[in-house]
Amino acid sequence: MSDFSSALEELNARKNSQDNKDVSAIFDELEILTVKSEGWPSGFFEELVKLLGDELYLKLKGSWTLLYFINGNWEELSATQRQELRDPLTSAFDKYENWMGAFVTSEILGERYADEGALSALVKFGNCAHLPARALVPHGLETLAKTTPDQSLRKLAIDQLRELEKSQSQEVRQEAQISLKKLGL
């Protein structure tokens, strides 16, 4: 792979053939290209966002590495792009083949956004997302509680963790308890 276009072509080929081989390696190479090129070319971000909305792509076991790549290159995104990313990011929350998709999404919401919109999305996921993704909501709430400078928002995140501690799902309850302990509560 020599450029961003080739990488996108390879990702689309993997998606179309449902070939899980080397998806993460493509993002490793994209990381190197990003550093060498000192940024992303025009239109590249939009193509990444399209992948987040593509059910075939999300079925790849390594599809979550796209999120990891975006999170690791957050500085490449303009404020407008960060806002454009929010909806596709939340729409894909529990649609990844691998649970790591929900994990990295909850982390991005809690750390990178850390606002009322992120809290609202996490609360929604805590109520209706499919397992195992729902069990990763406490991690996002914990991250938000640690990240936000807004004390009232922090309190709301902690209150939601306490609600999840009462969940019918054992996995969700356990994860909420772990997150509350990590917050010293």
Whether 62 and 80 share a structural domain: yes
Same domain, 74 and 107: no
pLDDT > 90? residue 104: yes
Mean pLDDT for 103-117 is 97
As a whole number, mean pLDDT of residues 26-51 equals 91
What average pLDDT does this structure show over 97-108?
96
Write the Ramachandran bin of 39: left for phi over 0, alpha for psi from -120 to 50, otherwise beta.
left
pLDDT, one tens digit per residue, over 170-181 is 999 999 999 999
Same domain, 147 and 177: yes
Please choose, from the candidates 106, 4, 18, 11, the residue with its C-alpha nearest in 3D space to the C-alpha of residue 50. Answer: 11
**End position of a domain, from candidates 92, 111, 129:** 92
Q: Is residue 20's pLDDT more than 80?
A: no
**Whether residue 59 sits in one domain with residue 107:** no
Final residue of a domain: which of 92, 117, 143? 92
Contacts of 3 (CB under 8 A, 6+ apart): 33
Asked if 44 and 109 sit in the same domain, the reply is no
Supply the pLDDT for residue 38. 83
Share of the chain above pLDDT 70, in %: 99
Same domain, 80 and 112: no
User: For residue 19, what pLDDT band results from cuts at 50, 70 and 90?
Assistant: confident
Which domain-ending residue is among 92, 123, 139?
92
Q: pLDDT tens digit string along 50-59?
A: 999 999 999 9
pLDDT of residue 76: 92
Residues 118 and 173 in one domain: yes
Confidence label for 2 from pLDDT (cuts 50, 70 and 90): low
Assess whether 80 and 105 both reside in one domain.
no
Instruction: Give tens-digit pLDDT for 115-171.
Output: 999 999 999 999 999 999 999 999 999 999 999 999 999 999 999 999 999 999 999
Mean pLDDT across the stretch 25-35?
A: 91
Angle ∠(169,175,179) on CA atoms, nearest 5: 145
What gap in Å lies between CA 97 and CA 181, rounded to an integer? 29
- What is the rounded average pLDDT of the residues 110-119? 97
Residues 119 and 79 placed together within one structural domain of the fold: no
Do 5 and 39 share a domain, yes or no? yes
Are residues 84 and 16 both part of a single domain? yes
The mean of the pLDDT values for the chain is 94
Same domain, 8 and 74: yes
Range of the domain at 41: 1-92
Domain count of the fold of the chain: 2
When pLDDT is averaged across residues 13-24 and rounded to a whole number, the result is 86
